[in-house]
Amino acid sequence: MKKKTLEFLEAHQSETPSTWREEAEWRRENWPWLRHSQKIAVKVLLQMKQEGLTQKLLAERMDCTQQYVSKILKGKENMSLDTLSRLEDALGISLIYDEQVAYPNMVAEEAFA
Amino acid sequence: MTFDKILDNNTLWAVRYEGVADNALQTLFSQWSDPEWLVDFFLANMSDLESYFKITDINQAIYDTIDDNQRMQCLILDLSPEADLDKIFRPLENSRTSEMLLGKEKAKIKDRPQHASWLRIYAIKLEPGCYIITGGAIKLTRTMQEREHTLKELNKMEQVRNYLISNQAIDADGFVDFLSEL
C-alpha cells in the first residue's frame, strides 16, 4: 500500500479494538451446534409472529424467564433436549424431528443377506 | 469515521461509522447471523425474494443466508497475507472494465448451489490489492437503486470515497502513474 494512504488510515484508526475476528472465530468454532441454534430460533420466531406470541407469553408457557427466551431467540443458546421439548410443547411445532430416516433403505433380501 | 485494520498486512480495512460501536464488517457478520434481524428483514422483503429468486419458503431463505454468512466469514478469516484481494472483490458495475480512482467494489460467494448468493460486501478500492469495506447488504433486486437498504449502501460508498478524496488520503498522482503502467 502507498505510504500516504497507509499513514492516513493509521492516523485515523479507531480508538477501541474491533471484536469482529474473535466473534467470527467463536461462530466458526461453535458452528456445529450454533447453526442448529440459529435455525431453531428462526422457526420459533416465525411461529411466534404467526401466533402473535410475545416473549413474555412464551416464557410463561415454557415456565422459564423472559431473559432465557430472549437468549434462545438470539440463536446463541446450546439448548438441551429438555428445553427443546418445552419449546415444542409451548409452540405446538416440531423442532427436533424434521426429517425421517428412510430405513430400511434397501430391499429385505439385502438387509438379511 | 475511523478505520479498522482487518488484515495485518494492511491490504484490507473496514470503516467504523460515527455512533456505531464496531466496524462495518463486524456489523454485517453479526446481522447475518442474528435470527431476529434476519426474520424481520425477510418478512419485509419477501416479495423481492419471490419475484427475483422465485423462492417462497422464508425458512429456507434464512437458513441459506446463515450458511452463506458462515462461508463468507470463513473466507475473510482464512485470508493469508499473500491472498490476492482483486480476485475476491469485483467492480460494482458489471459493465466497468477499466480502473477508476477509488472504485466501488463488491464481494460475493461464488458457486453456490440452488441459487446465487444474495450476500454482498461493499468496498472502495484504494489501489490494486487494497480495499476498505464500507458495508454490505442482502441484495434481492437487480439494481441497488431499487430498494432503500441497498441505495443506502451506495450512498455509504460515495460518502467514504468523498471523505478519502477530500482528506487527500490517496495519492492521485500515483494512481495516474499506475494507469500509465497498465
Section B63-67 average pLDDT:
96
Judge whether B76 is closer than 8 Å to chain A, CB to CB. yes
Sequential DSSP letters for B65-100: HHHHHHHHHHHHHT--TT--GGGTEEESSTT--S--
Whether residue A108 is predicted with pLDDT greater than 70 in this model: the reply is no
Domain ranges in chain A are 20-93
Share of chain B above pLDDT 90, in %: 82
Residue B182 lies in a domain: no
Contact A6 B10 (CB under 8 A): yes
Domain total of chain B:
1
Q: Is the dihedral of CA A27, A30, A35, A40 positive or negative?
A: negative
- CB contacts under 8 A, B 42-61 vs A, are 43, 58-59
Determine which of A3, A5, A45, A76 to mutate to test the interface with B (most B C-beta atoms within 10 Å): A5
- CB contacts under 8 A, A 27-86 vs B, are 27-28, 31, 35, 38-39, 41-43, 45-46, 49, 73-75
Contacting residues of B for A75, CB less than 8 Å apart: 33-35
Residue B158 lies in a domain: yes
pLDDT value at position B108? 95
For the segment A86-105, what is each residue's pLDDT rounded down to a tens digit? 999 999 999 887 666 777 66
B36 neighbors A45 (Cβ within 8 angstroms): yes
Sheet with B130-138, side-by-side order of all strands: B2-5, B12-16, B130-138, B119-127, B104-107, B89-91
pLDDT value at position B99? 73
Domain extent for B71 = 2-177
Residue B65 lies in a domain: yes
Residues contacting residue A31 through CB under 8 Å, at least 6 positions apart: B70
pLDDT value at position B29? 97
Residue B95 lies in a domain: yes
Residue B78 lies in a domain: yes
Residue B88 lies in a domain: yes
pLDDT value at position A111? 56
Residue B61 lies in a domain: yes
Provide the grid cell at B53.
Answer: 429468486
Closest-CA distance, B93 to chain A, in angstroms, reads 24
Q: What fold does the segment set A20-93 form as a domain?
A: 434 Repressor (Amino-terminal Domain) (1.10.260)
Grid cell 442482502 is found at B138
For the segment B96-122, what is each residue's pLDDT rounded down to a tens digit? 767 778 999 999 998 888 899 999 999
